Amino acid sequence: MSEERVPRGGRSGGAGAGGGPAATRAAGAVRVAAAAVTAVAVVTAEALAGEGPLLVGAVPYALGLAALVLAAGRWPRAALLASVQTVIAFRSAGMSDVGWIWPASAAYFLVAAGDGAVRDEAGKRLGPLSRRVPRGLPFAVAVGVLQVVFAANWERYVAGLDGREAVAALGAEALWLALVLAAATAWRNGRNWRREEAAGRERAARERAAEARRRAEAERLRIARELHDLVAHTLTVVGVQLRVAAEALDDEPAEARAALRTAQEVRATAVADLRALIGVLRDPGEEPGAMELAPGRGLDGVGDLVEGVRAAGLQAGVETEGDPAGVPAPVALAVYRIVQESLTNAVRHSGGTRVDVRLRYGSDAVRVEIADDGTGAGAGGEDGAGARAGGGHGVAGMRERVSVLGGEFASGPGEHGGHTVRAVIPVPS
């Protein structure tokens, strides 16, 4: 279907321009049918009611109008003007005696029905207030009025009819023109409604696909954070304990056995966490973020994390303030994972001897601070990028956890050296 382009240089396309290959083929078939009907109707009317020559008058007349209908697919307004001029020429020359208006009905219809969605000069759809300017319809009305006026004057002053006879001769054709233009308007409105409906379905499908991608991305990041925090901490603690066991195996068998037991306990805990996570992934009805905390993976499990760090050879302390009873599970899991990742980084990268965990539970937020006294080597500067994160995604994962819950996160050198991680996570009222 054709489409108007504004503000300048636009031409009103025919009823079949644009709309894709299938629509173009269908519109072409419609124009061929309209041209055939025009040719047959004109020849038949001339044969039944006309008095002019048939072979040298009606046949060329009908074929010319049919050719103009076919050309209206590309040049609709020019085809309409040419059709009107053809009708006037044949009527004025006495080579046709039937109809001033109806022989050009197909050309009128194609121009009036040819308005599509308005586009700007760049080809972009305009907004709903300016998206359609039915310029083809006013053009067709103007041409029709001029043709009726010309025909009335011809019948009155050339053919010699009185006013009553001229009105009677042209009244039916004027009504026919109004019917054709009304039908074209209804067809155009129906076509545009179908276009808008199809466009709306396409927009809705794109929005659904984008939402599905967004949800899948969010779930993928959540799973990546859980796996990173779990695996990184487990491997770090187990690695430290195995190293202790290897060093003490000959001289301190008891210490080696204790280290191995600690490694086994950490491994068992990690296996339980992995099973819980896999259970959530296997359950398609589970909402994203709805994974239940495994035993000891809430705020009560922070003490176990600190004990693991102590067993790894660092001095560690925990300072708490407030009542943790009102902290919801998602916030508790985020606090646990932040402490877990920060302690893991302290064991692996700080090079210090002590790390302190401070938890403050307020009515509006939970404040977390983990500070070590490391030398800062490999801290990676602001936000803890670089070697402290092991080139991985630990700090990014902590930041994402806090951001999802609407909190604030910072990671970088401490005021008195070492490295400090701080997070403020709001608690819903």
Residue type, 383: D
Domain boundaries, the chain: 21-208, 296-429
Give dist(CA 13, CA 73) in Å, integer: 7
Looking at domain 296-429, what is its CATH homologous superfamily? Histidine kinase-like ATPase, C-terminal domain (3.30.565.10)
pLDDT reading at 5 higher than 50: no
Predicted pLDDT of residue 370:
92
Which pLDDT score is estimated for 412? Answer: 85
Summarize the confidence of residues 358-376 as an average pLDDT.
87
Q: What is the average pLDDT value for the chain, to the nearest integer? A: 75
By percentage, how much of the chain surpasses pLDDT 70?
A: 73
Q: Residue 214 is encoded by which pair of tokens?
A: 């967004």
Residue 205: how many other CB atoms lie within 10 Å: 10
Report pLDDT for 368: 93
Closest residue by Cα to residue 268 from 306, 304, 317, 217: 304
Query: Which whole number is the average pLDDT over 314-341?
Result: 85
Residue 409 or residue 264, greater confidence: 409
Judged by average pLDDT, the poorest of 6-10, 61-65, 203-207, 381-385 is 6-10
CA separation for the pair 345, 325 (Å, rounded)? 28
Q: In this predicted model, what pLDDT tens digit does every residue of 170-182 receive, in sequence order?
A: 788 888 888 988 9
What's the CA angle centered on 266, arms 361 and 368, to 5 degrees? Answer: 20
Its sign, for the CA torsion 231, 237, 239, 242, is: negative
| Three-class SS state of 8 | coil
Q: Kindly report the pTM of this predicted structure.
A: 0.46
Tokens 């048939």 — which residue? 54
Q: How confident is the model at residue 19 (pLDDT cuts 50, 70, 90)?
A: low
Contact criterion met (CB below 8 Å) for 328 and 295: no
Residue 423 — very low, low, confident or very high, per pLDDT cuts 50/70/90? very high
CA distance readout (Å), 310 to 225, 362, 371: 25, 28, 15
Residue 281 tokens read as: 């992934």
Q: Report CA dihedral (27, 29, 35, 39) to the nearest 10 degrees.
A: -160
CB contact at 8 A, 39 and 65: yes
